[in-house]
Structure 1
């Protein structure tokens, strides 16, 4: 007998032991008759002379030595200590050995069931603790006994009262965790609580667990596929960071196509909410290796979800891609010209007709050339710069590019040419705005002259009122213009039923048009 177990186990039976068992290397020397008094199963085996089958029965449910020692101790009349950690294993062993009250009063199976009901199922923490230590074979037996539904109902009842408890389920086996979350989703548990629980569970069993061997990888793959099934498809319900990380892990673990597509669909719905850092997570550890097709798939799906009215989302994606191109150029010294060009073309396509300037693309090109300048030929530099649209560079970017010695000479000439075009266009706009301003001043002056030349035949009060208006408006230039216009309008018969605001509408309209042309 191992030193871990009491040496007086056999003292209550003076006969020498007639049964020797080894469980996971631990020896047990027992008396068959003593065990048979509590176990109907052993009684049957003894009567049929098949006692050797006992070791196969115990092996079938993967009973650990500590649990079996408790069962044996009970058979020998010792008091045993039941706990949340051992109750399920003890109960399943007692059930397998048919240690019920029909065979012997106050038997172990009845004691285990009572303990489960009164000490475990009433508590969320104790229930979770008892399930967390169960092996797959024990859980198989829990299914056979019919206890799985009992455990799930107990947890569901408590989770519905306080959904925050769901975050404590990281130790629960997947075969119990998934159906519990599915049941919670059918009830009043909010999406936020469900997503928080699933993300924590994935972090524990997928992202933090080392893939030491094939069995671990297989377990991680099963968990990740379940996580994808459990996550909400609602836009924004799951963080982009988590979705990108999960998609990368699904590729690494060779998860099912449904699993990978599920993460891709969720990402594409909220691609405008992602950041460059999120997109960078998809880049494999191999230097210079980029999945261009994956990026195109995500973008194609994103654009298919929205229309032209969602321009703000298109702008967000375009800017994110520019930042991603810059980060990729800065972080990967092994990035090839072909790959950079492919990423650049995608970036330019996303920003076309969405962003006014393509300065982000230019910055990425500048960084790429900075890191690879000595390794690139003039032809390769030209290939890199082909994605740059010089017409969409801001004046500041044009100024920088015109002095950038890393750029091919032909690109610099193009920049200078379009910079000159920009200057000419700006001068033309400025001249037009000055002319419009002069036209406005001339109109006012002409109307003043016409007013002075009018043959006023009204009574003296009208003349006095007009003089007062002119005198008052000479103190404030803006008020003078409005008053003069009002008097002219009245003289021309336009003031009969109009308000002051209505008389100002023409001036406001001209100002608005002036600003628009500028």
Structure 2
């Protein structure tokens, strides 16, 4: 192209060739002293009129600077491109990034129906991902030095990571637009640098989980992972159940999901003294959902399940039905755990927070320990008495309070339903007590037969004594409680 220009041929200048031509013209000293409208003046005019006025064209020109980096730096073209990009980016409205970044492929899922023609020019941050990382980071540092909107900085960083770090999404396939695949060490260094450049302000939670998942797989520094965990934990109420179900990538963990990570994130969330009650309730439902998902893991130890469940404060759960569901699934899967472990896990539940449906199911649940069933029945009886007492006519200061007839009928119906439920619960308790008595009789019979056979063998006689005092006391106490 330079030779054609030297011989007077007309040559079209494009964005991709403008910077190399400018550098070549400088090297060949093609100034106005030798010819009017020489190559230096032509390329400079093209850059100022067609490149530096548009952010996407400036990014393409900056990409071209990489092939002639030394000359482009000395001429100041690289700095001009970066300055143009940052200046135009400051005018961008972050809300114009439709649908970012929702797909698993690593680029961007844009809703074409909602996206206007004008907003296409504001997807310039896609072009930034084509830059080499040293040049890209110079752009980011310039953005931060000029106090650009943190959301623009954040989205530029995470979009770059999504393209060049292939494990950042749940899809294991690399981006189709990536020409080369960076090594694991390069991806680790890239991720640590991007994480350190993230704005301190709020970041998209789903994007942070993607970065954290990659940080775990690539085994980044502890500071990098702690930084991501802290940012996620401070906004845990914005996470989803799918976000928290991160597979356990370490061979040291036997569980399917990384339960320790969930526990650390929850601790980070609870460290924030300014947590609102609504956020706490949302996180409570989220953790109960996690417990329900991990409960079916056969390798999940009882103490691990217990510590995650008990970590939530009492006010985080309005109802304990979600927790009860998780406990029931855990008992169903882990039939080998002891009664002591079952009672310890059940101690996390507050039976007073169970709904009517939850109470009925718990009272008939054979997997629950007997103490938990009795506690549910006892609370049901108390609630029944309170309802009955509340419906009676009361007298205060000698004046009678007349209860509305329609309300009285509804209350009577509720009482009848509660009485039926209580009867079924009492029947269940009686069945459990009969089963216990039957098992004890079987044990006594087995002991007698074994001792008789031993005595016959050795010519000795033994007598078997069984103390039923505790049994009688327990049964009588239960009977008196529910009379």
Shorter-chain TM-score range? 0.5 to 0.7
Partner of 2:182: 215
Report whether the alignment pairs 1:304 with 2:271: yes
Partner of 1:279: 244
Check the 8 A contact 1:94/1:109 in 2, yes or no.
yes
Partner of 1:362: 324
| Distance of aligned partners of 1:416 and 1:257 in 2 relative to their CA distance in 1, 3 Å threshold | closer
Q: CA deviation at 1:357?
A: 4.2
Q: CA deviation at 1:85?
A: 1.4
Distance 1:361 1:434 in 2: 32
Distance 2:361 2:179 in 1: 51
Q: CA deviation at 1:422?
A: 0.6
If the length of structure 2 is used for normalisation, what is the TM-score?
A: 0.62
| Distance of aligned partners of 1:419 and 1:160 in 2 relative to their CA distance in 1, 3 Å threshold | closer
Report whether the alignment pairs 1:288 with 2:230: no
1:204 aligned residue (143, 149, 163): 163
| Distance of aligned partners of 1:141 and 1:329 in 2 relative to their CA distance in 1, 3 Å threshold | farther
Secondary structure of 2:219's counterpart equals: coil
User: How do residues 170-181 of structure 1 correspond to structure 2 at under 5 angstroms?
Assistant: 170-172=126-128, 173=131, 174-181=133-140
User: How do residues 110-125 of structure 1 correspond to structure 2 at under 5 angstroms?
Assistant: 110-125=41-56
Distance 1:213 1:366 in 2: 50
Distance 2:22 2:273 in 1: 57
Stretch deviating more after TM superposition (268-277 or 99-108): 99-108
Partner of 2:395: 439
Check the 8 A contact 2:283/2:316 in 1, yes or no.
no
Report whether the alignment pairs 1:336 with 2:299: yes
Distance 2:45 2:206 in 1: 47
More helix by share: 1
Check the 8 A contact 1:167/1:200 in 2, yes or no.
no
Check the 8 A contact 1:325/1:361 in 2, yes or no.
yes
Report whether the alignment pairs 1:129 with 2:66: no
- Structure number with greater Rg is 1
1:254 aligned residue (219, 228, 240): 219
Distance 2:318 2:89 in 1: 51
Check the 8 A contact 1:402/1:412 in 2, yes or no.
no
Distance 2:257 2:270 in 1: 21
User: How do residues 240-251 of structure 1 correspond to structure 2 at under 5 angstroms?
Assistant: 240-251=205-216
2:360 aligned residue (395, 399, 422): 399
Report whether the alignment pairs 1:89 with 2:20: yes
Check the 8 A contact 2:320/2:350 in 1, yes or no.
yes
User: How do residues 263-274 of structure 1 correspond to structure 2 at under 5 angstroms?
Assistant: 263-274=228-239
Distance 2:265 2:370 in 1: 36
Distance 1:246 1:429 in 2: 53
2:281 aligned residue (315, 340, 343): 315
Partner of 2:480: none
Check the 8 A contact 2:281/2:315 in 1, yes or no.
no
| Distance of aligned partners of 1:85 and 1:104 in 2 relative to their CA distance in 1, 3 Å threshold | same
Distance 1:93 1:109 in 2: 9
Aligned residues: 361
Q: CA deviation at 1:84?
A: 0.7
Distance 1:328 1:260 in 2: 23
Secondary structure of 2:124's counterpart equals: helix
| Distance of aligned partners of 1:212 and 1:117 in 2 relative to their CA distance in 1, 3 Å threshold | closer
Distance 1:414 1:390 in 2: 13
| Distance of aligned partners of 1:335 and 1:171 in 2 relative to their CA distance in 1, 3 Å threshold | farther
Distance 2:64 2:377 in 1: 75
Distance 1:367 1:213 in 2: 46
Distance 1:162 1:181 in 2: 15
- What runs of 5+ residues in structure 1 fail to find an aligned partner? 1-69, 447-475, 478-518
Q: CA deviation at 1:282?
A: 6.0
- What runs of 5+ residues in structure 2 fail to find an aligned partner? 95-120, 406-483
Distance 1:89 1:194 in 2: 29
Check the 8 A contact 2:164/2:182 in 1, yes or no.
no
Q: CA deviation at 1:336?
A: 0.7
| Distance of aligned partners of 1:404 and 1:76 in 2 relative to their CA distance in 1, 3 Å threshold | farther
Q: CA deviation at 1:295?
A: 2.8
Distance 1:204 1:141 in 2: 29
Distance 1:422 1:153 in 2: 70
Check the 8 A contact 2:323/2:349 in 1, yes or no.
no
